[in-house]
Structure 1
Amino acid sequence: MDFYAVNSLRENHAGWSLLRAQNGPLAIAFFMAAFTGPNQRNIGRQALIDTLDDVLFGLRDGLGEDRFPRPAAEYLDDWAAPEKAWLRKYYAPGEDEPLYDLTATAEDVVRWVENLRGRDFVATQSRLTSIFQLLKTLVQESETDPEVRLAELQKQRDAIDAQMQQIRDGRIQVMSGPEALDHFQQLTALAKDLLSDFREVEQNFRQLDRQVREQIATWDGSQGELLESIFANQQDISGSIQGRTFQGFWDYLMSPQLRSELQDLLDRATQIEALAGLDNIHAIGELHQDWLPAVEQTQSTVRQLSQQMRRLLDDKVFLENKRIMQLIRSIEGNALAVRNDRPPATFMEVSAQAVDVVLPFERPLYEPARRVAVDDEVFLAEDGDVDPAALFEQFHVDKARLQDNIDAVLDGADQATLADITDAFPLSQGLAEIVTYFQLASDSPWASISPDVTQQLVWTLPDGSIREATVEQIIFARPS
């Protein structure tokens, strides 16, 4: 970043303007009191005015009545104006009172100002431990050599066995007070950073929503091309690194087993004796309860994007149909006007119908459909009673996951068969997963299906039984 980029940020960035503003200290202090301090979001206008009135009353009592003469409502409107964009003002569905929330830029400024005060205790050991753990996970999970991964797992198992033996011998190592405080501060800092990230992710989704609306409002092409462009933008967002990691976090947080494990760990953390004297120790017990509303609001923004897109497209279709009916009525009116008084010259010319000539040898020859013999046996229960509920037990095959499997195998080879891919990533959903691979091959220009060559695929059912399938050979090639 050079001088011109920094100067452009100084002149145009909302966060820099907050630091330079005359009432910047008032705004930042109020943001801390209303939003970041109590960790609240989406506050109603009246509740926010009451909080700002309390802040202004304390300041005027110490600095004089003329220090901040404007009413609290005017300050809120000023800070939420597009010129400043420190607060986001919006209306929730079915609500008449506007809601306010910090923008991601304003929250970054608040966090930066809070860090200027310095810290009595700086977490260093826990950060070093986190770096080592992340580095180990990065290296181990990216290793493709089975022998190396097995050796690493064996090393971890030996270390666990040694720790278990030490506990059996009565040698229990307990984390000291400073170490516990170090890890606790690192935990709370990461939790706050995560909530701050949600605001930025939500702001990016709202920016996408605004771009889609502008694109629909100014579109001059066909409706099909517009839909293709919009769906491509949505696919880019959901398939981006940010979209995929956010969806992964959502799936992780929605897992009942993982949520139960997280709640158990948080409850046990609040009972650590070394942390009993901290004022905010009980706050971490509800850590995930702060994440759920933030994640749900981000998901709601994504849903609103689809709803708004559908509504705008419906409006565009209505206007197009209305225009077509106006043209039809105009044609009918002109035809009735000249019905009894036809013009002497040519009134309208219509191109004659033409026959498309196709040479006989240009037509493809008849090719009989191939019949695939399915060798399968149906076993019925002895009493003949079959539970029909099995027909409704459907499941979803993730095409994106299978495409990632193909790309991962093609990273080390120019081409690979379906058998090579299933050897690297065993089938977990049986025949449905094989059919999805065939669909990906049919849609891809870099894949070919050889009906004259077959290959054997094997998978294991949850009950331990083995299934085999003989299918046509599929060859996936690396895109050039």
Structure 2
Amino acid sequence: MDYFSINSLRENHAGWSLLRAQNAPLALTFFMTAFTDPNQRNLGRQDLIDVLDDVLFSLRDSLGEDRFPRTAGEYLDDWAEPDKAWLRKFYAENRDEPVYDLTAATEDVIRWVESLRGRDFVPTQSRLSSIFNLLKALVHGSETDPEARLAELQRQRDDIDVQMEQIRSGTIPVMTGPEAVDHFHQLTTQAKDLLSDFREVETNFRRLDRNLREQISMWEGGQGDLLESIFSSQQDISGSLQGRTFQGFWDYLMSPQLRSELHELLERATQIQALATQDGLNSITSMQKDWLPAVEQTQSTVRQLSAQIRRLLDDKVFLENKRIMALIRNIESGAVAVRATPPTGVFAELTGHDVPVALPFERPLYEPSRQVAIDDAVSVAEDLDVDAKALFDQFYVDQQRLEANIDAVLADAEQATLADVTDAYPLSQGLAEIVSYFQLATESTSAVIDPDTEQTLSWTLPDGSLREATVEKIIFVRPS
């Protein structure tokens, strides 16, 4: 970074403006009390006013009644202004009052201010071990030579064999007390850093979405180009480096096996004797519970961004249709106005609509068609016993009844397969009814035919015999 970049941050960055503010100690004290210390997010306005009133009462009692003359609500509104952006003010679902949350810049300032107090214990050995482990994972995980990969795995296997042999011989290497404390502090520090990073992840997602909405608002091209731009931008949000790393973390955290392993390791860590006197030892067991709300908040933000993109597209289509209808109404009103007194002379000129001229000698000569002799004699069979009733004994499959069956099943479920529908409403017309279901699925936009999965349907004939048919799987989805 050069002088101009640093000066731009000094003038425009929300975190730097917070450090320069006269009421920075008050704001930071309130932010720590309400958000970071209890690890809370998205607090309602009245709850924050109550907390800030308590903070102001305590400070005024110590520093004087005239020290902070403004009310708690005025301070909240001031700190959430766009020129400060220390708090993010928004409205959440099922909430009548505005909701507040810290911005990523404010949390960076809080973490920096907390680091100024100094630490009684600075983990160094565990950080060096973490650097070595990350470096090994980076180098060996990126290695494409099979021999090198096998050699590294063999070395790890030899090390494990040596350790197992030491344990069998009675020599059990145990981590010393200082080493355990070192790793414990490194663990808690990284857990807090990861939890605070989610606000910055959410901010990055919002920045990508804001750029997309600005592009839609200023779009002047065709609808096809707009759709292509929107779909590519949605892929940019989910396929960006930020989106891929966050999705990887989400998949890792949602794995039942990994979550069980993490919970077991945290429980065993609290039973280490060397860590018995460490503050916050029992709180590490809730580390996973602290991550889940933050991750869910970020996931909810991504879902809201996708919904906003769809609404923007709907608004764009509505405005385009409205403009087309206005043009049609203008043409119709103009036609009605000149109906009684049509204009003289050339009314309209249309380029490219001329009468084609074909000269007589360009026409082909007449060529008589060839006559094909067809034997149209009909031989009448004699003494042939044929029951003509079979020609008239046909039946009709009512597709409206089948659609009613599908709607009745989807009334209690988001989606259902053809097997679910036939279980609720058994087949009465055999293969003809199955073919009608397939016709409905191909013509409907709320049905999917999975050619890679099969399902078996059965029905009973009038004589009591059972018939089965193995067909491709059909999934009906409740229309939105």
Q: Which moved more, 1:320-329 or 1:70-79?
A: 320-329
**2: CA distance between counterparts of 1:90 and 1:83?**
16
**1: CA distance between counterparts of 2:86 and 2:355?**
67
Find out whether 1:263 has 2:263 as its counterpart. Answer: yes
Deviations 1:291-346 (A, max 9, x none): 11111111111111111111111111111111211211221121122222111222
Alignment of 1:344-383 (within 5 A): 344-353=344-353
Query: C-alpha displacement at 1:355, in angstroms?
Result: 10
**2: CA distance between counterparts of 1:296 and 1:340?**
68
Q: Which residue of 2 aligns with 1:67?
A: 67
Q: Which residue of 2 aligns with 1:182?
A: 182
Query: C-alpha displacement at 1:388, in angstroms?
Result: 6.0
Q: Which residue of 2 aligns with 1:307?
A: 307
Amino acid across the alignment from 1:237: I
Secondary structure, aligned partner of 1:100: strand
**2: CA distance between counterparts of 1:157 and 1:354?**
86
Report if the CA contact (8 A) 2:263-2:285 is conserved. Answer: yes
User: What root-mean-square deviation, in Å, do the aligned CA atoms of Structure 1 and Structure 2 show?
Assistant: 2.2
**2: CA distance between counterparts of 1:17 and 1:292?**
31
**1: CA distance between counterparts of 2:311 and 2:3?**
45
Amino acid across the alignment from 1:219: W
Q: Which residue of 1 aligns with 2:149?
A: 149
Alignment of 1:321-400 (within 5 A): 321-353=321-353, 391=473
Find out whether 1:245 has 2:245 as its counterpart. Answer: yes
Q: Which residue of 2 aligns with 1:85?
A: 85
Amino acid across the alignment from 2:122: V
Q: Which residue of 2 aligns with 1:472?
A: none
**2: CA distance between counterparts of 1:386 and 1:272?**
63
**1: CA distance between counterparts of 2:7 and 2:355?**
68
Q: Which moved more, 1:2-11 or 1:78-87?
A: 2-11
Distance change in 2, residues 1:148/1:355 (3 Å): farther
Q: Which residue of 1 aligns with 2:195?
A: 195
**2: CA distance between counterparts of 1:32 and 1:73?**
18
Deviations 1:262-281 (A, max 9, x none): 11111111221221222311
Secondary structure, aligned partner of 1:334: helix
**2: CA distance between counterparts of 1:351 and 1:185?**
81
Q: Which moved more, 1:132-141 or 1:171-180?
A: 171-180
Secondary structure, aligned partner of 2:101: strand
Q: Which residue of 2 aligns with 1:452?
A: none
Deviations 1:43-97 (A, max 9, x none): 1111111111111111111100111111111111111110100001111123112
Secondary structure, aligned partner of 2:100: strand
* Unaligned segments of structure 1, at least 5 residues: 357-383, 394-480
Distance change in 2, residues 1:349/1:355 (3 Å): closer
Q: How many residues align?
A: 367
Alignment of 1:463-474 (within 5 A): none
**2: CA distance between counterparts of 1:44 and 1:6?**
35
Alignment of 1:398-437 (within 5 A): none
Report if the CA contact (8 A) 2:209-2:237 is conserved. Answer: no
Distance change in 2, residues 1:21/1:389 (3 Å): farther
Q: Which residue of 1 aligns with 2:204?
A: 204
Q: Which residue of 2 aligns with 1:235?
A: 235
**2: CA distance between counterparts of 1:32 and 1:354?**
80
**2: CA distance between counterparts of 1:128 and 1:160?**
21
Q: Which residue of 2 aligns with 1:58?
A: 58
Query: C-alpha displacement at 1:387, in angstroms?
Result: 10
Query: C-alpha displacement at 1:190, in angstroms?
Result: 0.7
**2: CA distance between counterparts of 1:354 and 1:168?**
100
Q: Which residue of 2 aligns with 1:30?
A: 30
**2: CA distance between counterparts of 1:159 and 1:219?**
62
Amino acid across the alignment from 1:201: V
Distance change in 2, residues 1:355/1:255 (3 Å): farther
Q: Which residue of 1 aligns with 2:126?
A: 126
Deviations 1:423-470 (A, max 9, x none): xxxxxxxxxxxxxxxxxxxxxxxxxxxxxxxxxxxxxxxxxxxxxxxx
Amino acid across the alignment from 1:34: A
Report if the CA contact (8 A) 2:123-2:183 is conserved. Answer: yes
Find out whether 1:21 has 2:21 as its counterpart. Answer: yes
**2: CA distance between counterparts of 1:259 and 1:295?**
14
Query: C-alpha displacement at 1:352, in angstroms?
Result: 4.2
Query: C-alpha displacement at 1:258, in angstroms?
Result: 1.1
Q: Which residue of 1 aligns with 2:165?
A: 165
**1: CA distance between counterparts of 2:222 and 2:94?**
34
Distance change in 2, residues 1:322/1:129 (3 Å): same
Secondary structure, aligned partner of 1:83: coil
Query: C-alpha displacement at 1:7, in angstroms?
Result: 1.5
Amino acid across the alignment from 1:272: I
Query: C-alpha displacement at 1:235, in angstroms?
Result: 2.1
* Unaligned segments of structure 2, at least 5 residues: 357-465, 476-480
**2: CA distance between counterparts of 1:307 and 1:253?**
25
Secondary structure, aligned partner of 1:101: strand
Query: C-alpha displacement at 1:239, in angstroms?
Result: 2.4
Distance change in 2, residues 1:331/1:390 (3 Å): closer
**2: CA distance between counterparts of 1:21 and 1:97?**
27
Secondary structure, aligned partner of 1:343: coil
Q: Which residue of 2 aligns with 1:287?
A: 287
**1: CA distance between counterparts of 2:11 and 2:34?**
28
Deviations 1:331-388 (A, max 9, x none): 11211222221112222222343799xxxxxxxxxxxxxxxxxxxxxxxxxxx99996
Distance change in 2, residues 1:387/1:79 (3 Å): farther
Query: C-alpha displacement at 1:194, in angstroms?
Result: 0.9
**1: CA distance between counterparts of 2:467 and 2:277?**
65
**2: CA distance between counterparts of 1:145 and 1:320?**
57
Q: Which has the larger radius of gyration?
A: 2
Amino acid across the alignment from 2:315: D
**1: CA distance between counterparts of 2:197 and 2:95?**
27
**2: CA distance between counterparts of 1:224 and 1:104?**
37
Distance change in 2, residues 1:387/1:181 (3 Å): farther
Amino acid across the alignment from 2:96: D
**1: CA distance between counterparts of 2:296 and 2:467?**
44
Query: C-alpha displacement at 1:234, in angstroms?
Result: 2.5
**2: CA distance between counterparts of 1:123 and 1:355?**
91
Secondary structure, aligned partner of 2:163: helix
Query: C-alpha displacement at 1:102, in angstroms?
Result: 0.6
Q: Which residue of 2 aligns with 1:96?
A: 96
Deviations 1:102-128 (A, max 9, x none): 100000000000000000000001001
Secondary structure, aligned partner of 1:216: helix
Secondary structure, aligned partner of 2:41: coil
**2: CA distance between counterparts of 1:387 and 1:156?**
55
Amino acid across the alignment from 1:15: G
**2: CA distance between counterparts of 1:205 and 1:220?**
25
Query: C-alpha displacement at 1:287, in angstroms?
Result: 0.7
Report if the CA contact (8 A) 2:43-2:100 is conserved. Answer: yes
